Amino acid sequence: MNPSERNRLLQLPLSDVPFVLFDVESTGLEPQQGDRICEIALVHWRGGVQHGVYETLVNPGRPISPDAFAVNKIPAHLLNSAPPFERVVDALLRQIEGAVLVAHNAPFDFSFLNTELIRLGKPTLNNPLVDTLQLARIFLVQDRYNLGSLARSLGVERPSHRAMSDVVALKAVLVHLLERLRMFGIATLNDLLRAQRGLMPGDPEPQAPAALLTALREGRRLYITYHTGGGDPVPRTILPLEFQHTGGLPRLIAYCYLRNGQRTFYLDRIGELALVEE
């Protein structure tokens, strides 16, 4: 998605935004360690109306870990007969083209998708990303913020940790959040993405490098050097996903191309920082 397409989306009223709510199930928690997607589900949603669904099992080419199977309970024989990711990727990309992606703990699911795309030599996604977990932590008062707990508090069916079941619960959480956010004057997609960073309409942008704010707004990659300890700073290319500046030190959640996965970067440890020319 190019910057002009993103800017057009940012100005849309929320009732006109083409949301795609999605969830992936995986063989484990670490895509950079070889874990793979084994199920994908998504729902097209605009103006309070569902416009279509897509779901598929995916043959991951490796067993599901015992811990992951204890959660999603997807039997091996179903995955063995499912198509591999390379056979579903084109259909998947058509489904999400030009859309705003929504997930619960969105950087996690987004990182799995991008890692699969990198394996196939395809460009990574840079769609605007709405994270209902981050929004819930800011705007809802709950004992727990996982999807199951939020669904229970809203009186909807508890998700089963299968992809479409989770998306159904996700939709209920998103609807509730949008209704609440309207009371704060959140009217456009840009307002929503700023609210995800704890900013209300009229609040100034926090102190942050201009290139970082541009990358977040336009879905662009950054070149950084990052200090992780006593050694020399490590050069990396990253795709910023969320900038969190409440509840602690300012930090950036990003997809790291060096590690092929989601990472957290604290701003005070970043040395060089520059936009990557696309």
Do 187 and 68 fall within a single domain?
Answer: yes
Do 132 and 218 fall within a single domain?
Answer: no
CA 124 to chain centre: 13
Do 165 and 216 fall within a single domain?
Answer: no
pLDDT of the residue at 276: 96
* Domain total in the chain: 2
Do 221 and 128 fall within a single domain?
Answer: no
Domain harbouring 154, CATH code: 3.30.420.10
Do 62 and 17 fall within a single domain?
Answer: yes
- Does 104 fall in a domain? yes
Helix (H), strand (E) at residue 240: strand 234-244
CA dist 29 and 111 (Å) reads 11
- Is 3:219 a contact under the CB 8 Å cutoff? yes
- Does 204 fall in a domain? no
CA dist 246 and 46 (Å) reads 30
- Does 8 fall in a domain? yes
6 Cβ neighbours under 8 A, 6+ residues apart: 126, 128, 217, 218, 219
- Is 273:263 a contact under the CB 8 Å cutoff? no
Do 119 and 42 fall within a single domain?
Answer: yes
Residue-range definition of the domain harbouring residue 141 = 3-195
Cα-trace Rg, the chain: 18
Do 157 and 41 fall within a single domain?
Answer: yes
Burial class (CB in 10 A: 0-12, 13-18, 19+), 269: middle
Do 62 and 177 fall within a single domain?
Answer: yes
Do 122 and 233 fall within a single domain?
Answer: no
Identify the domain boundary among 172, 195, 218: 195
- Does 203 fall in a domain? no
- Does 249 fall in a domain? yes
- Does 205 fall in a domain? no
Domain harbouring 238, CATH code: 2.30.30
**One digit per residue, pLDDT tens: the chain, 278 residues?**
888 899 999 999 999 999 999 999 999 999 988 999 999 999 999 999 999 999 999 999 999 999 999 999 999 999 999 999 999 999 999 999 999 999 999 999 999 999 999 999 999 999 999 999 999 999 999 999 999 999 999 999 889 989 999 999 999 999 999 999 999 999 999 999 999 998 999 999 888 899 999 999 889 999 999 998 778 899 999 999 999 876 678 899 999 999 888 999 999 999 999 999 97
* Residue 94 backbone dihedrals phi, psi, to 5 degrees: -65, -35
How open is the CA angle 119-163-87, to the nearest 5 degrees?
35
Do 35 and 143 fall within a single domain?
Answer: yes
Do 218 and 155 fall within a single domain?
Answer: no
Catalytic, 161? Answer yes
The residue from 44, 77, 104, 161 that is catalytic is 161
Encoding tokens for residue 198? Answer: 């704890």
- Does 263 fall in a domain? yes
Do 91 and 182 fall within a single domain?
Answer: yes
Which contacts (CB < 8 Å, 24+ apart) does range 79-85 have? 79/38, 82/38, 82/56, 82/57, 82/58, 83/56, 83/58, 83/59, 84/58, 84/59, 84/60, 85/36, 85/37, 85/58, 85/60, 85/116, 85/119, 85/120
- Does 200 fall in a domain? no
